[in-house]
Structure 1
């Protein structure tokens, strides 16, 4: 099989986004636009991708790193001129070269594979990926002969009124015989309304040389959606989100209300898991089978085991094992690990903490910078006091310990295996295994005090 290459055009300024951030770095379903494109190219087996950068080049280069090669377009002189900047990397290569715009994140691997397949099958010099749009304004029109042969592509600005009636448009994505591409590019001129070197003019050059030029029309025209402003960004997000949710449902996940569910592109969810309304699953979150997530739950980069239940809670960069219950209204911050059959209840805050198998922090507590063993009960209102104003310190609670209500554990401190800490205690020293720690003022009761006080106030 001959090799595939790709040139991705990402040199434009993207002024209509009105953003300090480069257009291709804006996220769609949790992943930058450019990542969607590069990921798809990797998926279909592209051997080498060259990204053409210009405006704010450093940010794009810094983001993609060594995943791709970079070519610079110092002056913005059109799409053909942009592709020419990649010549040093690909001019001597044998094979097929895809050319794509860097602001089109919705192309699927299936669509691009079909484009390449049609190109190779027909032995074309070039094949255009086209779409039949209900509103083609702004897009270049594909001009065909009566027999369907592609003659040329005309930009909207340069099209005649009759040509503007055509609804088949150029999506800005092409497949070329690599060697013929570079030869044809050298013959493109800028004799047009904008004075730019248009990549679609390569089609006219190849056609005038009797080279075979084909067109592959995509099945779903929504994939042709490019992003030039925030409105189109939101539209692309909606299209991709619906695509993600439909695939999850086809794979056996129950999404109770797709219109109120937001799941990023790289999230994975096991079969028979139920996603309740108001749930947001971000980043590289991984959820096992048979879980219940939500309603109104926000998970970012969280690994969840099987048959866990997480309700009305926020969890970030943490691990939740099998049969764990979280919420409602828990906040699990980065670096936490809830082991099998543990429970974190309402209004509990955890940070960089391990909660051992079968242990419970049921309500109104803070467990930060702590190692909690197995079968530990942490009572209502208990706190690990981990910060002295300068440094964070760890608390260790060993297996089987019992922490009473409204206890303060002043770190660094260890509560030994099977030990008890009485309610209301402020513990500053280690508690030995199976000991009882009581650290509170002795109660004083003044009999009839209230009657005497009331009488005094009345007389005054």
Structure 2
């Protein structure tokens, strides 16, 4: 936003019932790219530099209100009760914007793919501006009737003539206007229609009657896609993932089967990283340049440094931090553990709450026993230490630098640096006892 531009505010409509989702989770809280659709809308408003953001919620979904308050505070809430149409919903936000002098954009909590760059062109006008799109199948969308660069009318499909129905330029529902003009026009909107509702689209005709400018700017159809049912949510997710994949490929990330890789909204991956098929990134995953993420791995809230290798079939949970050249192999789970450069855990292990020093080796089947049923405790592995296979390290415990833990050990006390620890029963060999056991077993089976 340029220094001399008018202040901006956003009204995000999120009071819909969402009954077509057929889910106990409110519609706008369903995720796309591991982020609630409503948060995508708030992100766009913040990226536009909106100094005021008001979310219109209904009384039927207290979870939505709680979600907004947790992110934006109580002042961002406006309540529409009862729901009487989009125009009524926008008017519900009027009190929350009292004293605001600038431009207001109306967006929707169920349009997760709409970005700030798509919305920005609506600002800067003196009248009413709407976002339109060219529809592949106009169907039941409201049509934008244009006269040159001027928006003449928004006509609902059920009220349109055959000539208007032939138009493919449709209304997205997103609208902007100076705050004073918007609320003044909404004060003139009536509910004289079959549904008895107050329609936001009526503002265009009222603005024209006043001689205020009315115009339309265009966005892509996918960007303005609304989500009302589970099938549409899946479609929005697919579109989101397609955009993410294209962006990472363009940035130098290698993916042999990109259609099988799934990203979160905030995934970060450096150039030169190789991602094999069937990898899932949850929120908070950061991968530096030149790492390798092998097939069927899942990363969330984790950081992977250059040259590190993850998987196949590995799981990095929140707090996992892998240094340069670290290897976390098949069926290894790491949670809240920092692994220093060159450390390895190649097979079948659980590392939870602790640290692994530089160059340390964690043998197959090792468990950090971090939970006693009530509290978590840490396991600290020193640089160059070697933990033998099938060991259980009962936290809190530390293994000193260069120490060795014998395979199959249960370690309940700290191991000094360069020491060797054996925490298992002594092996006893009984000559001929195996043959005697088999003979006795065979005789019992025959009897």
TM-score with structure 2 length normalisation? 0.91
User: Residue 67 of structure 2 corresponds to which residue in structure 1?
Assistant: 63
Q: Pairwise mapping of residues 60-99 of structure 1 onto structure 2 (< 5 A)? A: 60-64=64-68, 65-67=70-72, 69-99=76-106
Is 1:307 the counterpart of 2:344 in the alignment?
A: no
Which residue is 2:270 aligned to? 270
Residue equivalent to 2:261: 261
User: How far is 1:165 from its partner?
Assistant: 2.2
Q: Could you tell me which residue of structure 2 aligns to residue 44 of structure 1? A: 48
* Residue deviations 1:320-379 (CA, integer Å, cap 9, x gap): 1221001122122x3222121100111111111311111111312212331111111111
1:182-216 deviation per Cα after TM superposition (whole angstroms, max 9, x unaligned)? 11001001122322100010011001111110100
Q: Deviations over 1:80-124 (max 9, x none)?
A: 0000011112243221110012110111221112332xxx1xx33
Q: Does 1:443 align with 2:439?
A: no
Correspondent of 2:383 among 374, 377, 382: 374
The structural deviation recorded for 1:36 is 0.7
Q: What secondary structure, in the 3-state scheme, does the structure 2 residue paired with 1:263 have?
A: coil
Match of 1:435 in 2: none
Displacement of 1:173 in angstroms is 0.4
Instruction: Give the number of aligned pairs.
Output: 428
Distance in structure 2 (CA, Å) of the matches to 1:184 and 1:56: 28
Cα distance change, pair 56–327 in 1 and its aligned pair in 2 (3 A): farther
8 Å contact kept, 2:59–2:79 = no
- 2:324 is matched with 322
What pairs with 1:121-270 in structure 2 (closer than 5 Å)?
A: 123-145=125-147, 147-218=148-219, 220-270=220-270
Residue among 384, 399, 406 paired with 1:404: 406
Deviation of 1:405 after TM superposition, in Å, equals: 1.3
* Correspondence for 1:9: 13
Give the Å deviation of 1:270: 1.1
Please name the residue that 2:356 is paired with: 355
Superposed CA deviations along residues 275-321 of structure 1, whole A, max 9, x for unmatched, are: 11100011011111110012111011111111110012011012112
Q: Runs in 1 of length 4+ with deviation above 4 angstroms?
A: 451-460
| Structure 1: gaps of 5 or more residues | 387-392, 427-439
Q: TM-score, normalised by structure 1?
A: 0.89
Q: Aligned partners of 1:345, 1:98: CA distance in 2, in Å? A: 53
1-side partners of 2:153 and 2:98: how far apart?
24
Q: Is the 8 A contact 1:262 1:280 kept in 2?
A: yes
Change (3 A) 1:453 1:93: closer
Contact 1:139/1:155 (CA < 8 Å) preserved in 2? yes
Structure 2 gaps, min length 5: 371-378
Shift of 1:73: 0.4
Q: For 1:267 and 1:291, how far apart are their aligned partners in 2?
A: 14
Counterparts of 2:402 and 2:102, CA distance in 1: 66
- Cα distance in 1 for residues equivalent to 2:182 and 2:225: 25
| Other-structure match for 1:113 | 120
Residue 22 (structure 1) aligns with: 26
Indicate conservation of the 8 Å contact 1:91/1:178, yes or no.
Answer: no
Deviation at 1:452, TM superposition (A): 10
- Could you tell me how far apart the structure 1 residues matched to 2:72 and 2:234 are? 27
Q: 1:196 to 1:408 in 2, by over 3 A?
A: same
Q: Is the 8 A contact 1:337 1:355 kept in 2?
A: yes
Partner residue in 1 for 2:376:
none
Structure-2 separation of matches of 1:243 and 1:457: 66
| Per-residue deviation, 1:35 | 0.6
Cα distance, 1:194–1:169 mapped onto 2, change above 3 Å? same
Contact 2:14 2:56 in 1 (8 A): yes
Distance in 1, matches of 2:56 and 2:292, equals: 44
Deviation at 1:148, TM superposition (A): 4.1
SS state at 1:80 partner = helix
Alpha-carbon distance, 1:456 to partner: 11
2:58 is the alignment partner of 1:54: yes
Q: Distance in 1 between matches of 2:231 and 2:359?
A: 48
Instruction: State how far apart, in whole Å, the 2-side matches of 1:395 and 1:256 are.
Output: 42
**1:8-33 residue CA offsets vs partner (Å, 9 max, x unmatched):** 00011100000111111000011000
